Chain A
Amino acid sequence: MKPSNRARWARPLAALAFACCTFATGASHAAATITIVNTNEPGVGFNDTTPALPVGGNLGTTLGQQRLIAFQHAADLWGAKLTSAVPVRVDAAFEPLDCTATGAVLGAAGAYEIYYDFPNAPRSTTWYPSALASKLAGFDVTLGESPHIIARFNSRLGLFSDCLPGSGFYLGLDRQFGTQIDLVTVLLHELAHGLGFQTFTDDFFGEQVLGVPSIWDYYLVDNHNNRSWVTLTPAQRAATAVSGNGLSWNGPRVTAALPGVLAPLSQLRITGSVAGAAARNYQVGDAAFGPPLAAAAVTGQLMPVVDQGSDTGLACTPLSPVNAQAVRGNIALVDRGTCAFTVKARVVQAAGAIGMVVADNVEGDVAGISGTDPLVTIPSVRVTLADGQALRGALLSRTRTRSGVVASLGIDPTRLAGADTRNRLLLYTPTFYSPGSTVSHYTTEARPNQLMEPAINTDLTHEVQPPVDLTLPLLQDIGW
């Protein structure tokens, strides 16, 4: 960020609202009022007078007006779902943020202050973000002196050659963002963080703020031993943050809503007399293309694609006669790499395969498969590198058309995609540390994709509650 353009968050709120706003701020009239306080100087950001044509229901006539309308729209979507007698103030600005030609900071938001032991606090000695503390107290705990949430977004995005040219914010309200970035979706995500979808405990060291836990922390449970995060030592908390699905959310609202939101857990089941130690159920990543796995499993011999003179089977080009014979009527095992997943699926499908298993080519946790291709009609899944090696090891003594290793692509009806074995929603705790993403987001294994995963997916709607999304139940769990 350019120092000269840093927002002056510490300014008294009243002065900001009076001096900086050249465009009237809006406010919702719903169960909670969330007010966007425009902190931009005249002529820039929300006050940019560049003419703009109406887009996607956004009728602002200048770039600045459209930005503010989109902001207020996202705030109103949240305001309609929450209840509070105390208006939530969001100090907001569009300003130059870090950019390159291929990457950019879209924006940021978060709670400005945290409080504990305020009047009517449900838990003593527990940090709450100021917007939630005000709701619970029944009055503005900041006494009007500070914003509850601060937000700043990139004013240069897509508009300059050094700031992701051609990929600016879509300011429409209708999700028809095409190749642009849907501002409302990003705002819904970021505002949720500011409303309380985050821990204030350091997720790397496990240290609480001044030794006081956050309300968030009471709902985290180590799913290996069912101990609450607040009862763990800092070192234990830090360990759970990189545990690989070791932390779950045990709030009652989220847990009750899970079955109506999440799809059943997909799985690859391997059987057969020659499968040996490879005979078991495998965790898989789902594909965004092709049919989803279903109760009626797709079952066949697992047969590898083998590239001549190589240890891999990439399936990026039409299969050789030998490979085509192997996968025909069977489930193809291919390796990740070189070409798109959809290309691999089309290649093995063209050869007659009835399903595809992609083995990862780097170590790590199981992950999903992206891509879009309506012509793919067979199911596809992805397994880890280690699991792929185990599967290939079981296929060594095969004939040209049979392996004796039977693969079944189906679902586990007792499990939900993104939940632990007790059907509690998993938090994002990959085995590598991801600063700020870890702990304060939902798992990326949830299906359908959730608003509060660390990756903001393009298939998200603007819905924040069941049966589509689980963000609102979590906010309700912590007190909203």
Chain B
Amino acid sequence: MSNQKLMTAGALAALCTATVMALPHAHAAGQAGMVVVRDARTGQLRAPNAAEAAALQSPSGQARQAPAQRVESVGPAGSHKVQLGKSALVYSVVTRGADGKLAEQCVGSEQAAEAAMQQPTPAKEPHHETE
């Protein structure tokens, strides 16, 4: 495992010990938003530490936006329909590790796919870590 990968895994592991909370007003478009984390040990809200902040600033660590508002329509047979379009696409992403080996993974949004593409091999996938 490369040092960079170790650092990424470490930051994610640190983040995983806390729950990320984006304050409600933080979702307004164009606002940076205030992000706090809930410490897994104490249960208290606090500012993210350096590792958590770094992970949060990475594409995969960005606080999730609220689910898209769906528009429902009713068809002639009384059935209800929502057109998901591209929003329900599931993406397959491949990365080539430092050892030249390929690792494929499946993620659920275009943003997640872009993030996965930038980060080699997911930190916790079995059968894809060689060291």
Contacts from A to B (Cβ < 8 Å): 1, 9-10, 98-100, 102-119, 121, 127, 133, 137, 141, 143, 146, 150, 164, 167, 179, 181, 186, 189-190, 193, 198, 200, 202-205, 207, 209-210, 212, 285-286, 288, 336-342, 361-365, 367-371, 430-437, 440-441, 444-445, 449, 454-457, 459
List, sorted by A's number, 5 A–B pairs whose CB atoms are closer than 8 Å. A117-B79, A209-B67, A210-B72, A437-B108, A455-B127
8 closest Cβ pairs, A-B complex? A436-B108, A368-B126, A118-B79, A103-B117, A110-B88, A456-B104, A106-B92, A108-B89
Tell me the bound Cα distance from A117 to B82 in angstroms: 12
Is A112 in contact with B85, judged by CB distance below 8 angstroms? yes
Is A106 in contact with B93, judged by CB distance below 8 angstroms? yes
Is A337 in contact with B67, judged by CB distance below 8 angstroms? no
Is B114 in contact with A98, judged by CB distance below 8 angstroms? yes
The answer, yes or no, to whether B47 is at the interface (CB within 8 Å) is no
Is A454 in contact with B106, judged by CB distance below 8 angstroms? yes
Residues of B near A367 (CB, < 8 A) are 124-126, 129
Interface string of B74-113 (1 = CB under 8 A from A): 0101111111111011111111100100111111111111
Residues of B near A430 (CB, < 8 A) are 124
Is B1 in contact with A210, judged by CB distance below 8 angstroms? no
Smallest beta-carbon distance A411→chain B, Å: 17
Is A341 in contact with B89, judged by CB distance below 8 angstroms? no
Tell me the bound Cα distance from A246 to B6 in angstroms: 27
Is B105 in contact with A456, judged by CB distance below 8 angstroms? yes
CB-nearest residue of chain B to A186: B92
Tell me the bound Cα distance from A449 to B127 in angstroms: 9
Is B80 in contact with A117, judged by CB distance below 8 angstroms? yes
Q: Size class of B's contact patch?
A: 35 or more
Is A198 in contact with B130, judged by CB distance below 8 angstroms? no
Majority SS at the chain A contact face: loop
> Among the listed B77, B83, B104, B110, which residue makes an inter-chain contact with A186, where contact means beta carbons less than 8 Å apart?
B104
Interface string of B8-22 (1 = CB under 8 A from A): 011011011100000
Is B12 in contact with A9, judged by CB distance below 8 angstroms? no
Is B90 in contact with A181, judged by CB distance below 8 angstroms? no
Is A363 in contact with B82, judged by CB distance below 8 angstroms? no
> Among the listed B64, B92, B102, which residue makes an inter-chain contact with A435, where contact means beta carbons less than 8 Å apart?
B64
Tell me the bound Cα distance from A433 to B128 in angstroms: 19
Is A364 in contact with B124, judged by CB distance below 8 angstroms? yes
Interface string of B43-85 (1 = CB under 8 A from A): 0000000000000000010001011001010010111111111
Contacts from B to A (Cβ < 8 Å): 1, 6, 9-10, 12-13, 15-17, 60, 64, 66-67, 70, 72, 75, 77-86, 88-96, 99, 102-114, 116-118, 120, 122-131
> Among the listed B78, B88, B92, which residue makes an inter-chain contact with A198, where contact means beta carbons less than 8 Å apart?
B88
If A106-B93, A107-B92 touch, whether A371 touches B130 (CB-CB below 8 Å) is yes
If A106-B104, A107-B91, A432-B15 touch, whether A340 touches B130 (CB-CB below 8 Å) is yes
Residues of A near B99 (CB, < 8 A) are 340
Is A370 in contact with B128, judged by CB distance below 8 angstroms? yes
If A106-B93, A336-B131, A365-B124 touch, whether A115 touches B80 (CB-CB below 8 Å) is yes
If A114-B81, A186-B92 touch, whether A339 touches B72 (CB-CB below 8 Å) is no
Residues of B near A150 (CB, < 8 A) are 85-86, 89
Is B88 in contact with A437, judged by CB distance below 8 angstroms? no
Tell me the bound Cα distance from A73 to B91 in angstroms: 20
Residues of B near A449 (CB, < 8 A) are 127
Tell me the bound Cα distance from A337 to B96 in angstroms: 19
Is A103 in contact with B96, judged by CB distance below 8 angstroms? yes
Residues of B near A431 (CB, < 8 A) are 16
If A102-B96, A205-B67, A363-B13 touch, whether A200 touches B124 (CB-CB below 8 Å) is no
Is B107 in contact with A118, judged by CB distance below 8 angstroms? no
Residues of A near B118 (CB, < 8 A) are 100, 103
Is B96 in contact with A167, judged by CB distance below 8 angstroms? yes
Residues of B near A361 (CB, < 8 A) are 1, 6
If A116-B79, A441-B106 touch, whether A167 touches B94 (CB-CB below 8 Å) is yes
Tell me the bound Cα distance from A1 to B128 in angstroms: 26
Residues of B near A203 (CB, < 8 A) are 108
Additional A-B contacts beyond A106-B91, A209-B70 (5; CB < 8 A): A111-B88, A112-B84, A368-B126, A454-B105, A455-B128
Smallest beta-carbon distance A344→chain B, Å: 9
Smallest beta-carbon distance B35→chain A, Å: 14
Tell me the bound Cα distance from A370 to B127 in angstroms: 4
Smallest beta-carbon distance A177→chain B, Å: 10
